[in-house]
Structure 1
Amino acid sequence: MGLLDKFRGASYFSPMTQVVLVGFVCFLCPGMFNALNGMGGGGQVDRTTGNNANTALYCTFIIFGVLGGAIVNLCGVRWTIFASGLTYALYSSSYIYLNHTGNGAFTIAAGGILGIGAGILWAAQGMIMVSYPREEEKGRYIAIFWIIFNLGGMLGGILPFAINYHSTKDSLSDGVYIAFVILECIGATLGLALAPPSKVVREDGSSVVLVKYTSAGKEAIEILKLFMNPTMIALIPMCFASNFFYSYQFGPINGSIFNIRTRGFNNIFYWGAQMVGAYALSFLLDNQNMTRRKRGLIALAVVAVFFNVVWGGTLKLQLRYTHGPLANGEPTDYPDGLIDFLQSGRAAGPIILYTLHGVGDALYQNLAYWIIGSLTNDGQKLSRYAGFYKGMQSLGATIAWQLDAKSVSYLHQLIGNWVLLVISMVPMFYVVNALKNHSEESAESEDDIVKPAKYYNSEIEA
């Protein structure tokens, strides 16, 4: 059955509809944030404020990424996603203030608040995406989400490209930020349209969750257990590396050798390529003619080869320049200055390379989510696993954004990224090689169920 047929046959309470809905929430919230980040420094000439805001964001994201699964289990998905979505609008609006005052304090504070919201939102998203579909459909559902989500990045690339097409400034205008704020508010509101997990039913008639009640004490214990779980410990390098490369791709590459309108143009292809990569990988991850272990090992080999080729090409590009914007007004030391997309002879190679980084991001992230989704079918466990993934991912991102903020050389940033990605694939191999063909349905016995958690119960019965 094709993707369009799946959409047509989906009812409101089907897993497909819910994954599509959360995809559009992320299209309009994290998707817009990604587009803004992809401009380098949030679209500002000086990347310092944007880098420091990202550091604040990922510092709080570390904590609330890990806690996010527990918060979602206690409070439900709808209101947590709604409130989290509004933090994206707050962050984008802070750049309007920065444009007019030059004071980055509000933007940095908004970044810290966004880290709280993002940690919770991504835990809810991860739980929905990997626990709602059947085992044999998880790769496809992850791809569907990733395609919709990255449409947001594409739209976010089109907006600055179109609005700044004739601009001679090297930073984004208020109009771009205002458009982002409006779209993010719409995305947050869309979170209220999600169905309670207890009412979501698969095509075979099975419920996506066994209705269980939880408490703050139980969730605290389960979070602590994550740090003693050998599989989750083995996946920490994967989590750590999975967003580490963004600061290098968005700053030293896109933000340092291209002019402002070309950065937006590049992001159309960067995020569009993510959709292609996710869709292509889903065919392998859901191929029922092979065991789950074999599918995972082949996918890991594909990712390993692809990343090494792309980062090898990036090294060749990086050896041509050493810096981007400087305080003395020099925009870059890239040969012949900043690249415009109309300079086809100069632009084609770097733009294609940047686009391939988008493909690589999709391959890595989709494989990571598929591995996590292969560990269990228990929705509450998966919300904690997804939160752990985002928390450890944010730890890596925090360090990466500060490397650029502290002006660590571009070459050293590249080498650090490449080494981390290679290291992460060793424990990934260990986990994939140990995968069973079917996940456990639930590792929690009836004795583990604590009754009741008032708020969570209210959403279940809603």
Structure 2
Amino acid sequence: MGFFDAFRRMRYYSPMTQVVLVGLVCFLCPGMFNALNGMGGGGQMDRTTGNNANTALYCTFIVFGILGGSIVNLCGVRWTIAASGLTYALYSGSYIYLNHTGNGAFTIAAGAILGIGAGILWAAQGMIMVSYPREEEKAKYIAVFWIIFNLGGMLGGILPFAINYHSEKESLSDGVYIAFVVLECLGALLGLALAPPSRVVRDDGSSVVLVKYTNAGKEAIEIIKLFLNPIMLALIPMCFTSNFFYSYQFGPVNGSIFTLRTRGFNNIFYWGAQMVGAYALSFLLDNTSMTRRKRGLIAFGIVAVFFNVIWGGTLKMQLKYTHGPLPGNIPTDYPGGPIDFLEHSRAAGPIILYMLYGMGDALYQNFAYWIIGSLTNDNQKLSRYAGFYKGIQSLGATVAWQLDAKSVSYMNQLIGNWVLLGISLPPMLYVVYTLKDHSESVSESEEGYEYSEKHAVQA
């Protein structure tokens, strides 16, 4: 299979090697964060601190997501990714302090710091993932990254499931948080293994990046231009919606109607389904026997139908309950109480639905990255586009996490997610319809740039 042939041809300076490396960094850093978040409230019985920490996180993520592409263009990928990885370890470690003191201030502050690191890391990751491959391979590279990245979420689900298998506590133990911290520190160190973009060469001998001069003034102007670009403005609803559903899926669903160990069990399949969805979609999006527009339209139809089906199934389940466990040992009002994975007849439907959430996330986000990667082959532009995507995505996530923190009813949160999906689809369809078969090329004579080897960005 062509999907796997690339692994056998890997060189250190090949695009595939670099995408695998950044995938491993995200496996160990954002992957562990996703697993922790997937437990609902960072694995705490009371989700208030976790929700407020996520709000702080995404507030700073909004700013540094948008600025992240320019920071990466100015500072390179190695040190920006390595430093960003350490902010994930700080965040996970803050829950140990919370376990012993009950004071959430440090966790909320760590969330704000993580938002800075995450914004920069994801801008660098997005640039590497969609600018390094050839046009006909972009979906495959996105899928390779997504599979490696979500292995982190699977591992992060196995850890709390195994460690808390016999535990009756409703909050994660120190041992789970320590395991997350160690893995995230390893991920930060791995970021130093990345090669500078100027050294990466494709299998056909072409360079990944035309070395161009950039400075802070130039980057500031280019950031402003993002908000004047009609295509980027049309993608704002897609960006805003793309992480909005996490707070509902992780809190009102996984954190509310399942036992602690079953939440970890669910996340194994949630992140595993992401890998399946990304892998399957790559075959369609890289199928050069069809025009790019046709591939995009088919993928759009798949995403639209899939999400409407799973939200329909969620509505049927949501009508059965109104809240999860509450302080004072008040259990969820889900019929029969919290679901354990060993209760096969009760657990099968909700667990399968939760697994499909993961597949839907992969379909939506892989499609979004493919659209962005189809707009240009210029790696500096793509780092800004990726940062813009993550910044607006974080704005949506900020709103979503605060809705749960303010105890907005679960039904209203579901309705909000469904409405946002409907709003995001028409402009996404418009952008897909305007796609050309070949992306904008990088020109040495591009206005405002000076081609010079001495100005190569070295990470």
TM range, smaller chain: over 0.9
Distance 2:80 2:216 in 1: 16
| Greater alpha carbon shift after TM alignment, 436-445 vs 399-408 | 436-445
Residues 62, 452 of structure 1: alpha-carbon distance in 2 compared, 3 angstrom cutoff: farther
Q: Is the aligned partner of 1:93 residue 2:73?
A: no
Q: Distance in 2 between matches of 1:41 and 1:249?
A: 12
Unaligned runs of 5+ in 1: none
After TM superposition, list the pairs within 5 Å mapping 1:6-405 onto structure 2: 6-405=6-405
- Which residue in 2 is equivalent to 1:411? 411
2:458 corresponding residue in structure 1: 459
Residues 72 and 80 of structure 1 are in contact (CA less than 8 Å); yes or no, is this contact kept in structure 2? yes
Q: CA deviation at 1:450?
A: 5.1
Encode CA deviations 1:29-78: one digit per residue, 9 max, x unaligned: 00000000000000000000000000000000000000000000000000
Are the equivalent residues in 1 in contact too, given 2:198–2:457 (CA < 8 A)? no
Instruction: State the alpha-carbon separation in 1 of the partners of residues 216 and 457 from structure 2.
Output: 16
Post-superposition offset of 1:458: 6.1
Q: In 2, Cα distance between the equivalents of 1:123 and 1:443?
A: 22
The secondary structure found in structure 1 opposite 2:458 is helix
Tell me the distance in 2 between the aligned counterparts of 1:236 and 1:443: 27
Deviation at 1:449, TM superposition (A): 1.4
Q: 1:222 to 1:255 in 2, by over 3 A?
A: same
In the alignment, structure 2 segments of 5+ residues that lack a partner are none
* 452 and 330 in structure 1: CA distance in 2 versus 1, 3 angstrom threshold: farther
Q: Counterpart of 2:440 in 1: which secondary structure?
A: coil
Q: Cα offset for 1:431? A: 0.2
Indicate the SS of the match to 1:334: coil
Q: Secondary structure at the match of 2:183?
A: helix
* Conserved 8 A contact 2:196-2:457: no
CA contact (8 A) 1:215 1:452 kept: no
CA distance in 1, matches of 2:3, 2:87: 32
Contact 2:210 2:444 in 1 (8 A): no
Distance 2:290 2:4 in 1: 25
When the two structures are superposed, what TM-score results if normalisation uses the length of structure 1? 0.98
CA drift of 1:457 comes to 4.0
After superposition, give the CA deviation of every residue in 1:134-177 in whole Å (9 maximum; x if it has no partner). Answer: 00000000000000000000000000000000001011000000
**Cα deviation digits, residues 222-267 of structure 1 (max 9, x gap):** 0000000000000000000000000000000000000100000000
Aligned residues: CA RMSD: 1.3
Contact 2:153 2:268 in 1 (8 A): yes
1:138/1:216 CA distance change after superposition, 3 Å: same
Q: Distance in 2 between matches of 1:379 and 1:444?
A: 13
The aligned amino acid for 2:66 is V
Q: 1:317-336, CA deviations, whole angstroms, 9 ceiling, x for partnerless residues?
A: 00000001222321200001
Q: Which amino acid aligns with 2:32?
A: M
Is the Cα–Cα contact under 8 Å of residues 55 and 399 in structure 1 kept in the other structure?
A: yes
**2: distance between equivalents of 1:127 and 1:445?**
21
Query: For each residue in 1:310-353, what CA deviation from the matched residue of structure 2 results, as whole angstroms up to 9, or x when unmatched?
Result: 11000000000000122232120000100000000100000000
